[in-house]
Structure 1
């Protein structure tokens, strides 16, 4: 009877050989790019338990299973690197221009670390990149105009860095849905924005000039606008609030001097029932409070604090048939007259503040009136009276 052992051994060796040949080596240019990436990071900033610490090039970066080397930070598809996502360990260094060699890269996320220096313009050579996340680092210099070449880009988050200069024209990024450049040092005006954005966040920069309709033209999917803590000027025009998908608008802490609000169009094509929150606090807006805010049926929060509004609080803000406001912040203006009684009767769940105005009959028992009203002499001066000598 023949001995079965050689047959078994031969089968085992063939199987092992088959497994080994399936594990193809990582594309050489990708290995070179990963080497350059790690070399540009200061060794002292790489903790022993971090992802980068496991990048030992004696092993194949895309090999599986990953037991001791390249255990995290790198994701492959076949022999190509498609994702580079680092943990938050305080890695310090520059982003190597050779990152452009990872031509199949889809996600690049090195946020919440200590990378510094310029963002390399060669990043434009990543045609498949969908998500570029460099937030919470120390990148400086201008935003490379070449970023506009990343036609597949969907998310661009460079918030909380030290980027300066003006915004490049990103209108060609038709796939971009989220743009967050908040907490940088960007200057200049707002250019024309990419057409399919859902979220625009540019707060805490030094952007200036008026908001023009041409910048927002065609943005039918825009839901969130965060432009607070800049130096925008002029009047906030009605077209902004009429953007069909808009839900949240934060323009606080700018230098706007006016706001104009029209009624939403009562048509299926543009019902504009989405607007939920508006913040125009800490500007220089003068005139009467915009009555038409009460016509936005989904508006829950309206903040107009610390401007230069005068006159009475519109009764429509409390109308059962109209406004659905739940939070109303009007403190720090020059409003006069008596607030609508419904604010204090328990008929509506209004919270917020009406203090630091020129109001009469604002009951101190209400949380809305916790801040005291302005002195009579200041109110008289605001309405044309003679100041005390």
Structure 2
């Protein structure tokens, strides 16, 4: 665990701080804040989803620009956005204003995601899934700590907007570990005089990634999984409190336990992907997630609620290290940032679609129907992955490491 490439733990610390702070302002406070200022179910789903829309457009270009000009400037631009934007929430008075500020705040993750993943992936080519699994713990620790802390703070703050001031102050701390980071040249930077112009680089990068079947497959898988998990995340706090009769603290604890399980399983999931193959690890994780969703409508006590949370987190921990590693192995070194950006766009599409579709479903159907529909989507995805894996095993071995892993 500790024997990681130089700079890994400084990057880990910065990511942990900003992700923890960002999530404090998201779950469970954001649905509550939106409802308090008059948003309906569909508008709540839109507000939860809209922060990822920036990334849907920006991530591939940010990744390509960081390939060309280096990761450093984009990394620190994201830190500034993480630290500064939360102080604007105290001025929000309408759902439309909250929608606008969430769209702007999402630009921080749109930049930070592909840049940090590219940095980690470039450290060493060997053991990528395992290393990405460990790096994912920074985000998962944030998901672990933030919901319970924000749920506790919500009990004490009269105005949910006050919590975002705390979010901004915590985000500023990320500049401390970031001051010790070094940013090696990317392969495109190293070309210097032989480097193509920007438009040619973008055209070449998009042409290259368009042919990376594994990248598109992994991205579409994550899009499906995130549609399921973000549909759950957007409305589970309201279900837990308004339908199941639990407290806001219970809603926060659900996500804390979920991310604790995710955090514990992520390195294991990465190791399973490196050893047994990425597709079997992904299929197993999606199946576990489906079981959790089928169980959720019937929970009647706190123990069962937390058991569902644990299953959900375990499934995610098996899935995500392998999907990122598939992309890292499929895309050439000179276009890694762009490839991870496109992958991030597909993932963000799922984050947007999940809450929007869930909001539409809840306009007409019950929470039970929503959770069972999400479970059905997960089951179909798991079956699809297993069929692809079975098909690949029947093909002649092309001799590439990435194909063997898939």
Normalising by the smaller structure, the TM-score range is under 0.3
- The TM-score, its normalising length taken from structure 1, stands at 0.20
Higher RCO, Cα 8 Å, sep 6+: 2
TM-score under structure 2 length normalisation: 0.20
Query: Could you say which structure has the higher helix fraction?
Result: 2
